[in-house]
Amino acid sequence: MAPTPDSVAIEILDTIAVACFKLDGEGRLIYISKEARQSLSEFGSVQIGAKLLDSFPLYYGTPVPDLLEEVKNTGKSLSCEYISPYDHFWMSIAVHRVDNNGLIVYFSEIEKAKGTQKELLSEQEKLHANRNLLRATLDGSLNFTQVFEAIRNNNHKIINFKWLLQNNVSKESSGHVIGKLLLDENPGVIDTGFFDRMIAVTESGESCQYELEYNHEQFNGWYHHSIIKLADGVVVSSTDITARKLAEEKLLDANDLLQSVFDTSLLAISVMDAVYDEEGNITDFRIKVANAELEKQTNRKDLVGKLYSVEYPGIKQMGIYDTILRVMDTGRSEGFDYFYPFEGINRWFACMFVKMGSSIIATNLDVTNIKNAEFEKLKILNLLEQTEELAMIGSWDYELAGKVMTWSEGMYRLFNLEKTATLSPEVFVTYVTPYNTYVTRRIIKYINSGLGPFDETIDFKIGKSKKTLRLKADVVRNLNGDVERVLGVTLDITAGKLAREKTKKLVKEQKALELEKQQQIFKAIITTQEEERKRIAESLHNGLGQVLYGVKLSLNQLKFGTDNNVVDNIKTVRQTENLLMDAISESRRLSHELMPKLLEDFGLKAAFEDMAEQFETSIGLFLQFNGPDNFRIDPFMELAIYRMIQEVILNVVKHAAASITKLNVEITTKKMTVLVKDNGKGFDVNQSGGDGIGLTSLRNNLKLLNGSLQLTSGLDMGTQVVLEFPIQF
């Protein structure tokens, strides 16, 4: 019987003493060479059909299982070296995939190349311990730790990197990648420049650390990378810093917000760090933060980093520096008002100092204008006291702490009181008229509590006389801003009040006369205009209309012979007839517009109804009339109102391009309100000054009638005009 190829191969393998075996797709032994059987039989049972790793379980602690699995899955032939877990000898293994996912495994002992067994065992134990320590260290780290070997082409140029080692964190994110190529698994390293950095470290030997946002493959975040050269490759340690980056962004946003608040404050704000000597004593304060208002007040943008007392030595003379030291010592905030006459500043400030750790927060508000106003008020009060006797004025002072009220001579004269009388704010309510009791009790409350300034005019019954007195007061504050006193003046304005009432009456009468005069003028203008319009209307109607009508009758009576021009003549006659009819209609329309007969005969309601019918087709005008059916007023007022509304409607026709227009008329016993609202294109009231559609004459005429006009409009929003007329009927 002829030998089979398999039997020949087996005989050859046994002859050359090669240690090898063959596994099926399930990892079972289906062949084992003579040399392999002798090598493995020392450590376990070697049975055909048994699973290799079940027979030799210690191999689970070596690269062998992973190597077998990878060759089975990829079909690539792989090899590696490892220390046998049974005799601690160095072994070399090569694995190839054959038919039906079967594997051929070759292995040999390479102990002689590693040294004597005794020496190697010692080194192996140390190496094993170190490898375990390294593995435990790497796997216990929260960082991604990976070791890569450079892959070079024939020109010795690096074209890729291969994974040699990875820790558990790396496996969790990337899976098992040992032996795989970097660019196959993570091509995004090209676009981000990470691949170039790995090459640079491998070639130069110079380590690098940097942060990178990597949003490729399964990664999406920020990472801190440390790349260190190792042999012909690199060790990469990476830390996920996404949370930190997000926190930094939020912190930057918070800082920007805080800076915005600082810079928009009307307070000059600074933060200063205490500067200490060797003995721990504060020698000065270094400006750490200065907001925009402080830079504006000092006209300096270089304060940050400067020493406070060096830049502003006047703070020591003013006692400000001692105050800050006291705040740092006690931790209690302090504030006060002060005038600063140094370094060319010469301004009043209200300050506050607050301790924050080893720093001080200083705020300063420029109150110069407030102080000047207070001084001016005091000067005015002093002047009033000097002139009160001549001007029928009295002044008073109420001290809040002691609840003591003092009056000037003028006050005693105004109230006919002796100087021995007991004084308090409640004395005012004793003389007040019943109508002013509530106001008087309110100002008494203001005086007792120092709530603030007041200015009231009150009627008092003093003896048999009625006096109108003006009580005016203001508060005086101390350096801490607390109210100390209330200073007031009382003016007898009885004569002035009577004079004002008389003047007011005269002014009212004068306005009435002026209004009557204006209405008379307006009436004369309207009358003249209407007479002229009536004359023109009659002329158009009785003149042009009658003549044109006669022409029409004449043309209708023309007779022609039966020549070739008969048809053309008839056509011409008909065209002429149509034109004459149009002329007649136009003359009648003009006549109607110039002199509204309905208005004269039936009043505004009938005229408005006719107006709505006339413009219903062109602008969709419809009327809503709320008022008496027989409503009539002065004829000239009717005509004036009609002309104004007519002008508004014509403006809608000319300018609005509207399809719906409302005309609402509301009649009450004292006024007429007319609303005209359209859905047209509208206009910008501000840009046109409110008179963009020719409403100037309307405003002038309304003013003569003591009426009013309100205009509302906007682009593509339509227009609304509201006119109000005072009427009597």
Which has more confidence, 690 or 621? 621
Q: How far apart are CA 350 and CA 368, in angstroms?
A: 9
Distance CA(327)–CA(592), nearest Å, equals 91
Contact partners, residue 91, CB within 8 Å, separation at least 6:
81, 82, 83, 84, 107, 108, 109, 110
For residue 246, is pLDDT > 60?
yes
Q: How confident is the model at residue 110 (pLDDT cuts 50, 70, 90)?
A: confident
The CATH class given to the 370-492 domain equals alpha beta
Taken as a whole, the chain contains a residue count of 729
Q: Which of 15-29, 58-72, 591-605, 680-694 has the highest mean pLDDT?
A: 58-72
| CATH homologous superfamily of 5-109 | PAS domain (3.30.450.20)
Measured between alpha carbons, how far is 120 from 87 in angstroms, rounded to an integer?
11
Would you state the pLDDT for residue 497?
75
pLDDT given at position 287: 92
What pLDDT, on a 0 to 100 scale, did the predictor assign at position 621?
93
Q: What is the pLDDT of residues 524-541, one digit of tens each?
A: 567 646 755 665 666 566
Strand order in the sheet with 719-726: 621-626, 661-667, 671-678, 719-726, 708-713
Cα–Cα distance, 199 to 158 (Å, whole number): 7
Q: Which CATH architecture has domain 265-366?
A: 2-Layer Sandwich (3.30)
All residues at 6 or more sequence positions from 266 whose CB lies less than 8 Å from its CB, including other chains: 293, 365
Which is more confident, 61 or 193?
A: 193
Cβ neighbours, 10 Å, residue 580 = 18
Q: Is the pLDDT score of 13 beyond 60?
A: no
Q: Please, are residues 146 and 236 in contact by the beta-carbon 8 Å criterion?
A: yes
Q: Give the number of other CB atoms < 10 A from CB of residue 617.
A: 8
Long-range contacts of 90-93 (CB under 8 A, 24+ apart): 90/114, 90/120, 90/124, 93/64, 93/67
**Mean pLDDT to the nearest integer, 575-589:** 65
Whether 256 contacts 267, CB under 8 Å: no
Q: Indicate if the pLDDT at residue 605 is higher than 60.
A: yes
CA–centroid distance for 455 within its chain: 42
Phi and psi for 351 in degrees, rounded to 5?
-115, 160
Strand order in the sheet with 90-97: 29-32, 20-23, 103-109, 90-97, 78-83
Query: What pLDDT score does 595 carry?
Result: 53
**What's the CA gap between 661 and 678, in Å, rounded?**
4
How many percent of the chain have pLDDT more than 70? 78
Dist CA 55 CA 29 (whole Å) = 10
Angle between helices 566-594 and 546-556 (to 10 degrees): 160
Report the pLDDT averaged over residues 412-423: 87
- pLDDT confidence bin for 37, thresholds 50/70/90: confident
> What single letter denotes the amino acid at residue 675?
L
Mean pLDDT of 400-428: 87
Q: Is the pLDDT of residue 3 over 50?
A: no
In the prediction, which pLDDT does 310 show?
A: 92
- Cβ neighbour number for residue 133 with a 10 Å cutoff: 10
User: Does residue 130 surpass a pLDDT of 80?
Assistant: no
How confident is the model over 163-207, as pLDDT tens digits?
Answer: 888 888 778 778 888 889 989 989 988 998 999 999 999 999 899
Span 597-726 CATH architecture? 2-Layer Sandwich (3.30)
Q: How far is CA 162 from the centre of its chain?
A: 51
Average pLDDT over every residue of 257-274: 76
Residue 369 has pLDDT above 70, yes or no: yes
Q: Which amino acid is at 579?
A: L
Torsion on CA atoms 610, 613, 614, 616, rounded to nearest 10: 150
- What is the distance between the alpha carbons of residues 506 and 333, in angstroms, rounded to a whole number? 62
Sheet holding 268-276, edge to edge: 282-290, 268-276, 359-366, 347-356, 334-340
**Rg of the chain's alpha carbons, rounded to an integer?**
54
Determine the 3-state secondary structure of 356 from DSSP: strand
CATH superfamily for domain 141-245: PAS domain (3.30.450.20)
Contact at 8 Å (CB) between 726 and 706?
yes
Query: If pLDDT is split at 50, 70 and 90, which confidence band does 726 have?
Result: very high
On average, the pLDDT of the chain sits at 80
Helix (H, G, I), strand (E, B) or coil at 141: coil
Question: Can you give the pLDDT at residue 720?
Answer: 95
Pairing of strands 359-366, 347-356: antiparallel
Say how far apart CA 496 and CA 457 lie, in whole Å.
12
Contact, 286 vs 305, CB < 8 A?
A: yes
Instruction: Work out the angle at residue 146's Cα, subtended by the Cα atoms of residues 140 and 152, and round it to the nearest 5 degrees.
Output: 165
With beta carbons less than 8 A apart as the criterion, state whether 79 and 87 touch.
Answer: no
- The pair of three-digit structure tokens given for residue 275, joined into one six-digit string: 């500067």
Range scoring the smallest mean pLDDT among 332-336, 408-412, 534-538: 534-538
**What pLDDT, on a 0 to 100 scale, did the predictor assign at position 1?**
44
Residues near 560 by beta carbon (within 8 Å), at least 6 away in sequence: 566, 569, 570
Of the pLDDT bands very low, low, confident and very high (cuts 50, 70, 90), residue 711 is very high
Percent of the residues in the chain that have a pLDDT greater than 90, as a whole number: 19
CA distance 156 to 166: 26
As a whole number of angstroms, the distance between CA 225 and CA 239 comes to 7
Structure token pair of residue 451: 């709530």
